[in-house]
A and B are shown apart, each in its own frame.
Chain A
Amino acid sequence: MSDANELLTLVPKAAAKQSMKDFKSDQEVRWCPGCGDYAVLAAVQGFMPELGLAKENIVFVSGIGCSSRFPYYMNTYGMHSIHGRAPAIATGLATSRRDLSVWVVTGDGDALSIGGNHLIHALRRNVNLKILLFNNRIYGLTKGQYSPTSELGKITKSTPMGSLDAPFNPVSLAIGAEASFVARTVDSDRKHLTEVLRQAADHPGTALVEIYQNCNIFNDGAFDVLKDKQQAEEAVIRLEHGQPIRFGAEGSKGVVRDPATGDLQVVPVTPENESRILVHDAHAASPTTAFALSRLADPDTLHHTPIGVLRSVERPVYDTLMSDQLDRAVEQQGKGDLSKVLAGGDTWTVVG
C-alpha cells in the first residue's frame, strides 16, 4: 500500500493481523452454484486483510439484484438497501463518517438503469466510495431480461425479437461523468481483480471498478472470449500504467494514435511503428485518451476490451471539502451557540 491516500489514515487500523476468515459472515451464501459472484466475494474477502483496517470501520452498501446480496456475506457493517440507491445512501454515510471505509456493491441494472442518476452524481462529486459494479449484461434476479449493458438485438424473455437498446459502456460512462478512478477487471482472474481492488482502495475519492461477471444461468459464457486463453490473447488489452499498450500473441498488436483523427486504433506492431505504440498513462490529467481506450472494445464481440486501471487521477474529494467547510465555519463564526442563534437580531422583551 502506498501512502498516497491520506484519507485511509482516517480509518482506524485493525489491532491484530487479519485473515480471510475474519471477513466471512455466518450467513449461508445463496447465489446459484457456479455464479461469478462467488469468485468476486472470495477475492474481496481475501484482499481485505491486506488493507488492515478495523473491520468495524468497513461498511458494504448495496442496492437490489443478485450481486447486492454481497453485504450479507461480509463480516463487516452492511446495508442491503433498495434498487439503485446504494450510491446515495453510501454518500450520506461516507460524508458524515470519514473514519469509515465505504464500499458499494452494485450490478449493471442497479447502477446503470434504475440507479444511473446516483452513480453519475457520486462520480462527479468524487465522494470517497469504492464502487464494485458487477456487470453480467443481464438481469439475473428477475430471471433473465436484457440489461442496459446487453448487446443490441439480444434475445431475452422481454425481447423475444431482440432488444432495441444500444448498450452503455460503463467505463466510458464513468469517464464522461468525471470519474477520478475507473478500472475494469474480470471475475475469474483473481490476481488481476485483487490488484485492481488494491489500487481502488488506495484511491482518494470515488473509484469505479467494473467487474465482468458471469451469470451461468441467464447469460452463460458472456465473457468467454476474455477468459479462454487463446481467444483472450486477441481480445483482452491489459493496461498497465507506464507500459506500452500491446497485446496479442507475443505482443504482436498494439495501440497507436491515428495522426489524422487523433483517435486510437489497433495495429500489428512492426519495427517501423513500434516507437509509436501508446504508453498507458492512467494519471493523465485529460480523460480523452482513457475515453478513447474504453471505446476500442467492440460491444458485440468484446474484442479489444481494455482491462486494468484506465484512469486514476487525484482531485478534491467531496467528503474532505465538506468537512473543511465545517472547520472553516467554526474558525470564522466560532463554534455554534444555540442561544445566540435562537435569539437572532431583532428581539424585544416583555416584562411579566
Chain B
Amino acid sequence: MTSQVSSPAEHADEADDTGRSPRAVGERRASLSGDEGREGAGEKQVRRLDRVIIRFAGDSGDGMQLTGDRFTSETASFGNDLSTLPNFPAEIRAPAGTLPGVSSFQLHFADHDILTPGDAPNVLVAMNPAALKANIGDVPRGAEIIVNTDEFTKRPMAKVGYLTSPLEDGSLDGYQVHPVPLTTLTIEALKEFGLSRKEAERSKNMFALGLLSWMYHRPTEGTERFLRTKFAKKPQIAEANVAAFRAGWNFGETTEDFAVSYEVAPADSAFPAGTYRNISGNLALSYGLIAASHQAELPLYLGSYPITPASDILHELSRHKNFGVRTFQAEDEIAAIGAALGASFGGSLGVTTTSGPGVALKSETIGLAVSLELPLLVVAIQRGGPSTGLPTKTEQADLLQAMYGRNGEAPVPVIAPRTPADCFDAALEAARIALTYRTPVFLLSDGYLANGSEPWRIPETEELPDLRVRFATGPNHELADGTEVFWPYKRDPQTLARPWAVPGTPGLEHRIGGIEKQDGTGNISYDPANHDFMVRTRQAKIDGIKVPDLTVDDPDGARTLVLGWGSTYGPITAAVRRLRRGGTPIAQAHLRHVNPFPRNLGEILGRYDKVVVPEMNLGQLATLLRARYLVDAHSYNQVNGMPFKAEQLATALKEATDV
C-alpha cells in the first residue's frame, strides 16, 4: 500500500489480497549466468508472478528479523509494493529450539497495490523443527517449504514433539518441500575464513537470504553493502556473511532441486510518481516528529523510558541531535513525560513515547498538561494488555485509556495512524492540534504499524504543513483602571487556546499549576461557578478542534458500512475489496481522528442500515459510537495479538451484510 502526505488515496481499483494463490503471469526459460561449466547450471525456468508471500521463521537467535528486513529492502529497491509483519517473542533469546523461541518475519510483495502482509505464506523458510511446527498451520497445501535439514535431528525434533521426522513421515505431502542442509552448506562455504564452526554457522541466515534472493530475482548489491557497513569494524565477519549470501544465491542457481525461479515485476502503476523508500511505522513516526519540529520552528524534546514496542522511536530520535533534537532517557515513565512537559513550558515541542503500561503511569501528568493547557505529544504504541500482557504483539485496547484514563474531566484529542507510512502524517497532524490548541494529544499507533513496513513516497519539504506558532510577547488584557496586564488564561476566541508565554519573556511572568484556575487571570480559584465554567471550556476547546470530514468509500450504494480506526485499515480495505469483487456492496470509512470525531460522522452512521466496527479489542470504538450517536454499531473483535486476516474479515463482513 502507498501513503502520501496529502490524504492517502483509497485505491479501489482492481481487487487484490484475493486469497488465491499468486497468479502466474508469464513464463520464460533463461540461462541465468555464464557459469556453464558448473554442475547443475544451465537452463532454468523463470515464472512471472503477480505477488508472493514469504515467511522466514527460525530461532530468536537465528537472525530472522534481519533476514526479513534485508529481503524487504531488496524488494523495496526493486520497486514492488510490499507489506511486512515481523512476529517475535518478548524474550531476547528464548531457549533454543523451542516453540516459544520462534521468531518470524512475513513479507507480502506484489506488482500491484497491496494492503496487508498477507494471510498465508506461499513460501515458508523454516530454520529448525520448532519453526516448522509453529508455522505449518498457517501454510496452505501446495506452498513451498524450505527447511534446514541439518536441524532435523532427533533432539531438536523431540524438543517440539516430533516423534518421527516430518520430512520423511509423509506429513508434508502436498507441500513442495526443499530440503537444504543450510548449516552444512554455510560452514562449507566459509571454510576459507578460519572461523570457528559456531561463528560460521551464524551466517546461515545469509545463506538462506541468498537462496531466496536468487529465487525471486532480488537485487543483491544493497545487502552486500549493508553487510560491509554493519560489520565495518570486523571485516572478516563482513566478508564471511557476504560469502554465505553469495553461496546461497549460487546454490539456488546450480542445484537441480530449485528448477524454477520467479519474477515479480515492479509495481510502478500502483504508485503515483515520486521518489519512494521503504519505511516502518516507528521510523515514519520519528521522522514525522522531526518534521513537525522543523515546520513549527521549535526544538524537539523527547522524554522517554524504554518500553516495547516504542523504544525504536527513542533510538531513532537520539541519532538526530544535529536537528537540535534533545532526547532524555528518564528514570521512569513519569519522569519522561514530566521532562517533556517541562520542556513544553519552556517553548519546545515536548514529546513522550510509550506503550500501554507507560500510559497508565503517565496519566496524572497528562491531566496536569490538560490543566496547564500546554502542547504535548503522547505517543502510545499499543501492545497486548492488560498489565505486561503481550509486549511484542499488537492490539488496539488502549483507546479507552487514551480517551478517559485520567481523573476529572480531562479531554485529550486522539489521532490514530492507519498504515506504517501514515505514521509520518499522523505525527504532523498530532503536532498541529497540540500546538494550535495548546493541549496534550494522543498519537495512538500499535505494534503492527510500529514494526511493519511499506513503501512511502518521500514528501518534498514544501508539501509539509506550516506549524509555526506565536508565543505571547506582551500584555493581552486591560484592567478597568486602564492598566495593561498579561492574563495567562485569556483565550483565543476562535480556538479557545490560551497564550503560550515562555519563560524569558519580560513582563509576562506568571504562575500556572494543577489547581483549578480562575478564568482569565489563571489565579487559584475554588469558586464553584468558575470550576463549572472551566471544565466546560476545556471540553469545548477539544470538541471544537477542526478536523477534516470523514470520507466514505461507497461506489455501489451499500446498506452496510464498515468503520475502522488505526492499523486495521489494511485488512479492512483488503476484505472490502474481496466482498466487492464477489458482488457484495459494502461501504467503508476509516477514522484518523477518534477525538474529536469528524463533524459528519453522525450523519454518515445514520445513512446505513448497519454499521460494523472491526477492532483488535472487545469493542472500544463501538462503545464510543454507541454512547455518542445511539447507533447500533456491531463489533467484530479479535484480540490474539495479531492483525486481522483479510479472508477471515471478509467472511465476517459478508455475514454481516447478509443478515
Contact = CB atoms under 8 A, between A and B. Distances in A.
A61 to B, nearest CB: 7
Nearest to A332: B322
B368 A81 contact: yes
A79 B511 CA distance: 6
A154 interface: no
A197 B633 CA distance: 63
B58 interface: no
B482 interface: no
A91 B335 contact: yes
A81 B287 CA distance: 31
A342 B523 CA distance: 45
B154 interface: no
Determine the interface band of chain A, counting residues with CB < 8 A from chain B: 35 or more
Contacts of A31: none
Contact of A77 (B278, B320, B335, B509): B509
A344 to B, nearest CB: 5
A335 B563 CA distance: 44
A338 to B, nearest CB: 5
Interface in B421-442: none
A335 B322 CA distance: 5
Given A92-B303, A100-B346, A336-B323, A121 B331 contact: yes
A117 B331 contact: yes
Contacts of A90: 342
A56 B511 contact: no
A347 interface: yes
Most buried by B among A88, A90, A97: A88
A1 interface: no
- State which size class the interface on B falls in: 35 or more
A349 B513 contact: no
B345 A89 contact: yes
A78 B332 CA distance: 24
A117 B325 CA distance: 25
A331 B238 CA distance: 29
Nearest to A322: B326
B107 to A, nearest CB: 16
B514 A326 contact: no
Nearest to A70: B511
Interface string B348-369: 1010000000000000110110
B512 A78 contact: yes
Given A347-B275, A347-B458, A336 B368 contact: no
Interface in A314-352: 322, 325-326, 328-330, 332-336, 338-339, 341-352
Contacts of B278: 346
Interface of B: 73, 76-79, 222, 268, 271-279, 287, 290-291, 294, 299, 301, 303, 320-326, 328, 330-332, 334-336, 338-348, 350, 364-365, 367-368, 372, 458-461, 503-515, 523-524
Interface of A: 12, 25, 27, 54-59, 61, 71-72, 74-82, 85, 87-97, 99-100, 117-118, 121, 322, 325-326, 328-330, 332-336, 338-339, 341-352
27 contacts: A54-B504, A56-B508, A80-B513, A80-B514, A81-B513, A88-B339, A91-B328, A91-B335, A91-B342, A92-B339, A92-B343, A92-B346, A92-B348, A95-B339, A97-B504, A121-B330, A121-B335, A333-B322, A338-B294, A338-B461, A341-B320, A347-B275, A347-B276, A351-B268, A351-B273, A352-B273, A352-B274
